[in-house]
A and B are shown apart, each in its own frame.
Chain A
Amino acid sequence: MSTNTKKISHKTLHLTKRDSIATWKAWVIRLIAVLLALIICAFVIVGITGENPLNVYSGIIDGAVGSKRRIWVTVRETVVLLLIGVGLMPAFKMRFWNLGAEGQILMGGAAAAALMIYAGNLPPVLLIILILIASACAGIIWGFLPAFFKAHFNTNESLFTLMLNYVAMQIITFLIVFWENPSGSNSVGIINSANKGGWFPKIFGSDYTLNIIIVVVVTVVMTVYMKYTKHGYEIAVVGESHNTANYAGINVKKVVVRTMLISAGICGIAGAVIVSGASHTISTSTAGGRGFTAIIVAWMANLNPLGMLLVSAFLVFMQQGAIQIASQYGLNENASDIITGIIIFFLIGCEFFIKYKVRVKKSEEDAA
């Protein structure tokens, strides 16, 4: 600020909450956030590697869609993330903050792994059906506790679901000891690598067709469920106001429990899709933070399934790209986490600008 003039100009920031915002404007803001994030990422990467940023971007694209295999991995990861997002959707719509997708995925995955290990010789179709049912049930069990306590004792569901993630993690650690193969490796290894029992089969020449089919079916069913069914309507009313729900004769406790079970069940199925459909093993990183990333997916897309697909695809694209650059330039694997971290930071941060209008205001005042 200039002090030699008589006037001092102040610049003040004014924040006002927006009443509503046009959908296209919101997406423009998000797009700008993404572009900014990419620019910052480029600076970071260039700072570390000294490479031409254009090379870095082409590295990202190469990593995500550079080969047939990579495209399939990107698709596989996208649909899993979408599935978890769809799982969170009914709970979030009801304003039930299910932060326990991570644990529900792990339990679903554990159920799938158990069936693969103990019942790997069953006829493949039967086994896969059993795996899907068992993993959904495992997720449901994991979701039942917080739902029941929320409905009957009004406990805080975010804390409860969050803590169950750690319990799930411990159970998996224990199971790994139990299922260790080969012994001493401290891991379960690839299950049934010989007979592929319980592996999702190759359909139309791809290993991941069944993953896609499951996710598409669940997404469509849930979209219809939320929009056109009486249950979906009940969820929307309960989410808005328990008083209104009581007035409408909705049994709030029942709806809370039922909806949370659906949410957790879908997350459990996501566990099976990861274990039987992709990794064919189980470890404490089977969920790999997807349960949390999916929260961002669901939230940014405003619980709209199509939006969730777009956000998942973008996040996975960047994640895969980041992994590629990290290995290309010999960076530590954490480097890719930093890149995804920056992008997520910008995406969450831009929601602020969607909610609030920021104005810079100049005012002139006589210098004292």
Chain B
Amino acid sequence: MENYAIELKGVTKRFGSVVANNQVDLALKKGEILSILGENGSGKTTLMNMLSGIYYPDEGQILINGKEVSINCPKDAFDLGIGMIHQHFKLVDILTAAQNIILGLDGGMKLDMKKINQEIDALVSKYGFDLTPAEKIYNMSVSQKQIVEIVKVLYRGADILIFDEPTAVLTPQETERLFTVLKKMKLLGKSIIIITHKLNEVLEISDRVAVLRKGKCEGVVETKDATVESLTELMVGEKVELNIQRSDPKKPEKRIEMRGVTVRNSEGLSILKDISFVAKSGEILGIAGISGNGQKELLEAIAGIQKVDSGEILYYPPNSTTVEKLSEKTVREIQNLKISLSFVPEDRLGMGLVGSMDLADNMMIRSYRSGDSRFFTDRKTPRKLAKKIVDKLEVATPDINTPVRKLSGGNVQKILVGREIALNPDVLMVAYPVRGLDITSSYTIYNLLNEQKEKGVAVMCVGEDLDVLLQLCDRILVLCEGKISCIVNAKLTSKEEIGMYMTGARKAGV
């Protein structure tokens, strides 16, 4: 009994008619790293939210260190030594790391920042973090913010740490660093739960793996006995083939061309410098780079959302000799020209979708202007489309009138990708299309991209998983500090070579 940090017994949580967790029994041993694996919408986040006091179980018991507890609010969780690092960080941008760490803690009247800084420094060196307590959050990268979140829960004395998809937003190098920290924590006696969709990470970091399927716990296995195949089978419930079939581009034609494009941000710094390249129909052009090196701006410039300072972006329509200059057009003008540009942005709920609107209304975001009437919206077509996407991509949702915000992370992405592909694009741009998706959904998306490519669409894909980019793309463009460091044939390059171009260790033509 005593060696379990957490025991869940028959925990059930319902949202209306949706059973998110169904009679889940699960235990976390003291001092172990337990992975939780499961398809999108299988109830992983919901289960963890019950431990961190965000939701309260409808049925079942929670035991912490052998004692039955009732966790009503996040503070209860803290008092029990449970700290959760959510996928969406909850930090105040204008405060420093140290201020965020102590935010919400009880304390005396006087705030002894010096002592606090010392305590934080002690934690930082104990676990080997890379953190400056006095730095403001808005100056930090995603992985630095994550470190702040981790230090925050450690500072509050958490012994049980829960990570919800911590690596989804990290580069491979950052993931490596996070795992070093996790191992250190384990050595120091912390118990850890980690949710991730990346099976190789599960195999690398965890001691045991728990698999959830449709809200039920399908079993817990020792990691040393598991393989990618066995875990996938347990997760999906049947054997699945996981491979990407890459065909050779057929009749590639110029579709998009950038000529010497420079983009500056509001402070006048150039984010993209003198970018020139061509994207062709019938091929997938991968865009690799450490995050924040201009990938976002590159796609947004083509979509007309990002203003271009100099240079031009040209579009060559299929079966026509005219050339359209996209760099001088707004999103609206591009749409009016019937240029079919689909774009799946990185920020799904902040740009691609509206969280509080239902599935059907979200279908119209890019096409609400169409329809017979000048004045009234056409809601029938989007409803049909929403139904079609839900069926085709197996989106887990009660119905199409559910606000998108209530869907699980992966299902949100399916809705977005499904909508953009349904526009029948000539050019399809996707940013991190499988971030947060489970393994089968990821392959569904890869296959969709391939399908589009075979239909003659020019596909551009920003990705972070180099293994996948190498298998999926025909050519790979590597960005480093806003410049193109090379464009290589994906079949003739290696992960290592791209890695070197990404960090600028190698430059084009060298």
* A249-B364 contact, Cβ under 8 Å, with A228-B376, A229-B377: no
Partner of B365 from A14, A231, A247 at Cβ < 8 Å = A247
Interface footprint category on B? 35 or more
| B377-A247 in contact (CB<8A) | no
Query: Which residues of chain A in 349-364 are interfacial with respect to chain B, using CB atoms and an 8 Å cutoff?
Result: 359, 361
| B365-A230 in contact (CB<8A) | no
In the bound assembly, the distance between CA atoms of A247 and B346 in angstroms comes to 12
B354 located at the interface, meaning its Cβ lies under 8 Å from any Cβ of chain A in the complex: yes
| B353-A244 in contact (CB<8A) | yes
| B375-A236 in contact (CB<8A) | no
Please name all residues of chain B whose beta carbon is closer than 8 Å to the beta carbon of A251 when the two chains form the complex.
330, 332
Minimum C-beta distance from A5 to chain B (A): 24
Q: Mark B373-410, 1 if CB is under 8 A from A, else 0.
A: 00111010000000000000000000000000000000
In the bound assembly, the distance between CA atoms of A248 and B369 in angstroms comes to 10
Please name all residues of chain A whose beta carbon is closer than 8 Å to the beta carbon of B332 when the two chains form the complex.
249-251
Partner of B355 from A231, A233, A240, A248 at Cβ < 8 Å = A240
In the bound assembly, the distance between CA atoms of A250 and B351 in angstroms comes to 12
Please name all residues of chain A whose beta carbon is closer than 8 Å to the beta carbon of B352 when the two chains form the complex.
244, 247
In the bound assembly, the distance between CA atoms of A270 and B352 in angstroms comes to 38
The chain B residue with its CB closest to the CB of A19 is B55
Please name all residues of chain A whose beta carbon is closer than 8 Å to the beta carbon of B354 when the two chains form the complex.
236-237, 240-241, 244
| A241-B376 in contact (CB<8A) | no
* A233-B305 contact, Cβ under 8 Å, with A14-B73, A244-B352, A361-B72: no
In the bound assembly, the distance between CA atoms of A233 and B304 in angstroms comes to 21
The chain B residue with its CB closest to the CB of A248 is B365
| B369-A240 in contact (CB<8A) | no
B366 located at the interface, meaning its Cβ lies under 8 Å from any Cβ of chain A in the complex: yes
| A246-B350 in contact (CB<8A) | no
Query: Which residues of chain B in 314-345 are interfacial with respect to chain A, using CB atoms and an 8 Å cutoff?
Result: 330-332, 334-335, 343, 345
Minimum C-beta distance from A187 to chain B (A): 45
Minimum C-beta distance from B173 to chain A (A): 29
| B72-A16 in contact (CB<8A) | yes
Query: Which residues of chain A in 241-280 are interfacial with respect to chain B, using CB atoms and an 8 Å cutoff?
Result: 241, 243-244, 246-251
B368 located at the interface, meaning its Cβ lies under 8 Å from any Cβ of chain A in the complex: yes
| B330-A249 in contact (CB<8A) | yes
| B357-A240 in contact (CB<8A) | yes
In the bound assembly, the distance between CA atoms of A228 and B371 in angstroms comes to 12
B248 located at the interface, meaning its Cβ lies under 8 Å from any Cβ of chain A in the complex: no
A119 located at the interface, meaning its Cβ lies under 8 Å from any Cβ of chain B in the complex: no
Please name all residues of chain B whose beta carbon is closer than 8 Å to the beta carbon of A348 when the two chains form the complex.
none
Please name all residues of chain A whose beta carbon is closer than 8 Å to the beta carbon of B53 when the two chains form the complex.
16
| B335-A230 in contact (CB<8A) | no
| B73-A248 in contact (CB<8A) | no
The chain A residue with its CB closest to the CB of B336 is A249
| A243-B347 in contact (CB<8A) | yes
B493 located at the interface, meaning its Cβ lies under 8 Å from any Cβ of chain A in the complex: no
Chain A to chain B contacts (Cβ below 8 Å), 5 pairs: A15-B73, A233-B361, A244-B353, A249-B332, A250-B332
Interface residues of B (CB under 8 A from A): 53, 55, 72-73, 75-76, 303-305, 330-332, 334-335, 343, 345, 347, 350-357, 361, 364-366, 368-369, 375-377, 379
**A-B CB proximity, top 5 nearest:** A249-B331, A249-B332, A243-B351, A240-B354, A248-B365
Starting from the known contacts A14-B76, A243-B350, A249-B332, 13 additional A-B residue pairs (CB-CB under 8 Å) come to: A228-B377, A228-B379, A230-B368, A233-B361, A236-B354, A240-B354, A240-B357, A244-B365, A247-B365, A248-B331, A249-B304, A250-B332, A251-B330
Interface residues of A (CB under 8 A from B): 14-16, 19, 228-234, 236-237, 240-241, 243-244, 246-251, 359, 361
